[in-house]
């Protein structure tokens, strides 16, 4: 985030003299405590400063990039998961292609009659199938989908950064968010490369406001 000149000066004072009270910081800047209160709140919430009762403010020793890294590492899957797009294992490849086009997604999750995950279809899977001469309306999706245990999944309380690593290392576009049920893994969300892009944009916008 971009700090004002006064906020930068506050950090310098706390670095040099901390722990230091708000009143002492205000005296050095020839300002009132009330005038400084919003700046101190911003610096504390952003992680540049920390405060303890009857002790005062002290510098955390962390740079803006370090604070941003810590922030990203704390995010959980459930905070950013999107609505999943699923198809029945009984549909044809043609129907799956139509669904992917209409829903504008890069990954489809294939579920059984109990709405539990049995497979995943990527753009590459459907493109590969469409390059043949067979009638796609007569080809069921189980023939071309990726099956367990070759499906990468995540849970809602997993760290988002760990899922991002899976997207990169396995070279996949999306990961289903699942929960365990008596019948299997129920799909409750999705994390995709687009999710990560939106996160980066949101963080950038927050830091420039």
Q: What pLDDT is stored for residue 60 in this prediction? A: 85
Q: Using omega within 30 degrees of 0 as the cis cutoff, is the peptide bond preceding 64 cis?
A: no
Q: pLDDT per residue over 48-80, tens digit each? A: 898 888 778 988 877 666 666 777 888 999 999
Whole-number mean pLDDT of the chain? Answer: 90
From residue 200, give the alpha-carbon distance in Å to each of 23, 75, 154, 162: 37, 12, 20, 15
Minimal CA–CA distance to 175: which of 80, 54, 33? Answer: 80
Tell me, what's the pLDDT at 208? 43
Structure-block tokens of residue 192 = 């995709």
pTM of the predicted model as reported, rounded to 2 decimal places: 0.69
| More confident: 69 or 175 | 175
pLDDT at residue 194 greater than cutoff 50: yes
Under 8 Å between Cβ of 129 and 142: no
Q: How far apart are CA 139 and CA 142, in angstroms?
A: 9
| More confident: 84 or 131 | 84
């Amino acid at each position: 985030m971009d700090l004002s000149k006064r906020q930068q000066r506050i950090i310098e004072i706390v670095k040099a003299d901390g722990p230091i009270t708000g009143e002492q910081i205000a005296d050095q800047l020839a300002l009132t405590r009330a005038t400084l209160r919003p700046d101190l709140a911003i610096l504390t919430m952003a992680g540049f400063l920390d405060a303890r009762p009857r002790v005062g403010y002290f510098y955390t020793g962390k740079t803006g990039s370090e604070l941003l890294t810590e922030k990203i590492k704390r995010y959980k899957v459930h905070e950013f998961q999107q609505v999943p797009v699923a198809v029945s294992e009984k549909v044809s490849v043609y129907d799956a292609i139509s669904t992917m086009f209409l829903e504008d997604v890069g990954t489809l999750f294939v579920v059984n009659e109990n709405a539990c995950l049995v497979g995943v279809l990527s753009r590459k899977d459907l493109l590969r199938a469409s390059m043949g001469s067979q009638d796609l309306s007569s080809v069921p999706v189980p023939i071309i989908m990726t099956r367990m245990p070759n499906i990468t999944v995540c849970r809602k309380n997993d760290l988002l950064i760990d899922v991002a690593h899976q997207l990169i290392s396995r070279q996949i576009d999306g990961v289903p968010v699942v929960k365990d049920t008596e019948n299997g893994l129920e799909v409750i969300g999705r994390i995709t490369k687009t999710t990560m892009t939106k996160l980066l944009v949101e963080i950038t916008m927050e830091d420039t406001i």
